[in-house]
């Protein structure tokens, strides 16, 4: 047992440890490291029993609440290894702040984010050899919380499991190749007053049917419109979205039904810092069609932890298909990607104190 100041973290090491994958062939999300972090909650003890242990299966009752009513939240962040073998985390505090915000939205008891960050550092130190080094790779960190009461009564669970698993990953989409997105007119991701702004499992489950339709039409993902007027752009299933119209960079303003992306906020901060004209406002799909027709739609790109900066090459809507910037990555997408990649790897000035080393 080692004392972490707030709570002890027990460590049970795996022996023997697993073989690390070849960094140059990594896909997304199917390989996991040797160890995971676990923490339990019950009303008597609060959050307790912090432990790092071998990555292993959960054993739960088939009645476990999360399996029936989806009371589950998660986060996604990444650790990067640079040429000097430093391991760096990007905006870790913001992820844990968002985790607590999602917890509140899903009636899950709040967690001490400073403790969770300490625990993450400890886990990463143990798993440092799993952080890949090949260009475009990273160690994806997935903290999650699930409701664990063995009951099918519909109410907030009284017990929970918080856990963190780690996955060495390559590009989410095919490198920096532009993706194609499909405007869904028939389906809705999230509604005003709903849970769209929380990182809850159900939002992602709700995106699958439309994403399948998009794939059947040859597109990588869905571009969601607002639920009420089916007019205003919200986000893409896997990322927030930016448009460059004339000299203005525009992203949908956060209305409660859009995920407050951390990469989204980084693009906004960088734009302001560079003196670019950036607006968070409502953008209708008609405005995009018109901007495309008039030649004002210069580029479109998405942002997310998984995808990083992802140029958009085509937008499909009914029988119309807009080709953006000749289906090539735009100048600004490249600039944001290079700057963010540079900051994450410690190769560019970290003006905003976004990066923390894992020591």
Binding residues for ligand COI, per CB under 6 A? 76, 238, 304-306
Q: Are strands 248-252 and 240-245 parallel, antiparallel or unpaired?
A: antiparallel
The contacts of residue 284 (CB under 8 Å, 6+ apart) are 231, 232, 233
Nearer to ligand COI by Cβ, of 52 and 169: the residue is 169
If phi > 0 it is left, if psi is from -120 to 50 it is alpha, else beta; for residue 62 that is alpha
Q: Please report how the helices 92-105 and 113-126 are oriented relative to each other, as an axis angle in degrees rounded to 10.
A: 130
* Smallest separation, CB 314 to ligand COI (Å): 20
Nearer to ligand COI by Cβ, of 157 and 240: the residue is 240
Nearer to ligand COI by Cβ, of 212 and 294: the residue is 212
DSSP string, 143-162: EEEEE--B--SSS--S-EEE
Q: Give the H/E segment covering residue 331.
A: helix 331-344
The rounded distance, in Å, linking the Cα atoms of 314 and 199 is 27
- The residue sitting closest to ligand COI, measured at its beta carbon, is 76
Q: Residue 44's CB: how many other CB atoms inside 10 A? A: 7
Nearer to ligand COI by Cβ, of 38 and 240: the residue is 240
Nearer to ligand COI by Cβ, of 54 and 306: the residue is 306
* Smallest separation, CB 26 to ligand COI (Å): 14
* Smallest separation, CB 238 to ligand COI (Å): 4
The rounded distance, in Å, linking the Cα atoms of 239 and 210 is 15
Nearer to ligand COI by Cβ, of 76 and 156: the residue is 76
Nearer to ligand COI by Cβ, of 167 and 325: the residue is 167
**Tokens read off for 219:** 């597109």
Nearer to ligand COI by Cβ, of 307 and 358: the residue is 307
- Distance separating the N- and C-terminal Cα atoms of the chain: 20
Nearer to ligand COI by Cβ, of 251 and 325: the residue is 251
* Smallest separation, CB 170 to ligand COI (Å): 13
* Smallest separation, CB 306 to ligand COI (Å): 3
Q: Residue 301's CB: how many other CB atoms inside 10 A? A: 29
Q: Is the peptide bond before 16 cis (omega within 30 degrees of 0)?
A: yes
Phi/psi at 198 (5° precision): -100, 150
CA dist 337 to 168, 230, 307, Å? 20, 31, 10
Q: Give the H/E segment covering residue 80.
A: strand 77-81
* Smallest separation, CB 305 to ligand COI (Å): 3
| HSE-up (13 A, CA, CB side) for residue 197 | 15
* Smallest separation, CB 78 to ligand COI (Å): 8
* Smallest separation, CB 137 to ligand COI (Å): 15
* Smallest separation, CB 159 to ligand COI (Å): 25
């Amino acid at each position: 047992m080692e004392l972490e100041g707030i709570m002890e973290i027990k460590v049970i090491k795996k022996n023997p440890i697993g073989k690390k994958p070849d960094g140059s062939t990594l896909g997304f999300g199917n390989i996991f490291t040797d160890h995971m972090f676990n923490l339990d909650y019950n009303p008597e003890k609060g959050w307790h029993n912090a432990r790092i242990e071998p990555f292993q299966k959960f054993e739960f009752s088939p009645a476990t609440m999360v399996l029936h009513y989806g009371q589950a939240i998660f986060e996604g962040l990444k650790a990067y290894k640079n040429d000097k073998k430093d391991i760096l985390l990007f905006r870790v505090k913001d992820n844990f702040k968002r985790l607590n915000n999602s917890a509140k939205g899903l009636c899950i008891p709040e967690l001490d984010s400073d403790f969770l960050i300490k625990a993450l550092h400890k886990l990463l130190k143990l798993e440092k050899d799993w952080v890949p080094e090949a260009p475009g790779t990273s160690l994806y960190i997935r903290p999650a919380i699930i409701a664990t009461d063995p009951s099918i009564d519909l109410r907030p669970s009284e017990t929970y499991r918080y856990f963190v698993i780690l996955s060495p990953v390559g590009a989410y989409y095919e490198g920096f190749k532009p993706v194609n997105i499909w405007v869904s007119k028939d389906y809705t991701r999230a509604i005003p007053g709903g849970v769209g702004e929380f990182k809850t499992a159900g939002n992602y489950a709700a995106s699958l049917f439309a994403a399948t339709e998009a794939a059947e039409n040859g597109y990588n993902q869905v571009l969601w419109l607002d639920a009420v007027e089916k007019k205003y752009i919200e986000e893409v299933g896997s990322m927030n979205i930016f448009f460059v119209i004339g000299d203005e960079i525009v992203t949908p303003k956060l209305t409660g039904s859009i995920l407050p992306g951390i990469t989204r906020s980084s693009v906004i901060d960088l734009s302001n810092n560079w003196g670019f004209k950036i607006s968070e406002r409502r953008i209708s799909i008609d405005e995009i069609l018109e901007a495309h027709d008039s030649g004002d739609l210069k580029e479109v790109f998405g942002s997310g932890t998984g995808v990083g900066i992802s140029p958009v090459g085509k937008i499909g809507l009914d029988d119309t298909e807009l080709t953006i910037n000749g289906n090539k990555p735009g100048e600004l997408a490249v600039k944001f990607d290079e700057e963010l990649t540079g900051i994450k790897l410690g190769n560019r000035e970290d003006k905003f104190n976004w990066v923390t080393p894992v020591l």
